[in-house]
Amino acid sequence: MPKSPERCQEIRQEMRSKILHESMLYFAKNGFSGTKISDLSQYIGIAQGTIYVYFQSKEDLFQEIFSIVNNHQDINDMKCLTYLPISAKQKILQLSHSLMQRLEQDESYAAKITLNTQMMFEKNDFRSRDTTYQSELYKYVAKIIKQGQKEKTVVTGSAMKLADYYWGVIYLYALKKLFTTKYEMISANDLARILLKDETKKGSEI
């Protein structure tokens, strides 16, 4: 009784997905050169050879993780938020809330942020082909910042620099999520304070 081709395909997809997902976490925690295939396969719970059934090389696996990590859903969400007809302050608070919540609930998201940002730090490297993802996100936050500066609710300064600062802090807490056992996550307000002028005097707005 041979398995149906469809079922076969399905099984393959499942294994492939499993490897990708688990590897993402492992790579995020240990880095590329800090990850041994022997350790990784043991962590996943499969044989070393199995990885090479689905991926050509360690390098290839790492790249594939990127394709996943760089999905454009996030960019779309970001775009939608940017063009919403609400105040910049509201956008920033909403975004901050959403990001911190997601980081706290989803370790994969933390891994994604971590990998993505680490790529930006290794520019001259072979692994950093697609940085559009990150830069798109930065761009939209910068746009919101500019809106906020007009509305006088966001601090002055280069919008891009501030966006970079904002995402940097997100990265920071992605790292904390991945590496720290006892959480010390900051609140959305703490995060938003990077961009917003003193919000304590306008308590009525949220």
Partner DNA sequence: AATGAATGAGTGTTCATTCAT
Partner DNA sequence: TATGAATGAACACTCATTCAT
For position 47 contacting a copy of itself by CB under 8 A, the verdict is yes
Q: Is 132 in the site for a copy of itself (CB under 8 A)?
A: no
Both structure tokens of 196:
């917003």
The residue among 81, 65, 54 whose CA lies nearest residue 118 is 65
131's tokens: 């940085």
**140 phi and psi angles, rounded to 5 deg:** -70, -40
Which residue in 1, 2, 6, 126 binds a copy of itself (CB under 8 A)? 2
Exposed, middle or buried: residue 182 (CB in 10 Å: 0-12, 13-18, 19+)?
Answer: exposed
169 binds, among a copy of itself, DNA, none (CB under 5 to 8 A by kind): a copy of itself
CB 93 within 8 A of CB 154: no
Site for a copy of itself in 77-116 (CB under 8 A): none
Q: 123, exposed or middle or buried, with CB in 10 Å at 0-12, 13-18, 19+?
A: exposed
Binding mask 169-188 for a copy of itself (x = CB under 8 A): x-xxx-xx--xxx--x-xx-
Three-class SS state of 203? coil
Kindly report the CA angle at 120 between 117 and 124, in degrees rounded to 5?
150
Q: Considering beta carbons, is residue 12 or 72 the nearer one to DNA?
A: 12
Q: Is 5 in the site for a copy of itself (CB under 8 A)?
A: no
Q: Given the rule CB under 7 A, which of 41-49, 66-74, 146-154, 163-171 is the region that contacts DNA?
A: 41-49
88-105 helix and 73-82 helix, angle to the nearest 10 degrees: 150
Asked if 21 touches a copy of itself (CB under 8 A), the answer is no
Considering the rule CB under 7 A, would residue 125 count as an interface residue with DNA?
no
Q: Residues binding DNA: what is the number (CB under 7 A)?
A: 25
Smallest distance from DNA to CB 129, Å: 18
Angle at 23 between CA 115 and CA 36, to 5 degrees: 100
44-103: which residues touch DNA (CB under 7 A)?
46-50, 52-54, 56-59
Q: Which residues bind a copy of itself (CB under 8 A)?
A: 2, 31-34, 47, 121-123, 155, 157-158, 160-162, 164-165, 168-169, 171-173, 175-176, 179-181, 184, 186-187, 190, 193-194, 197-198, 200-201
Q: Which residues bind DNA (CB under 7 A)?
A: 1-3, 5, 7-8, 11-12, 15, 35-38, 46-50, 52-54, 56-59
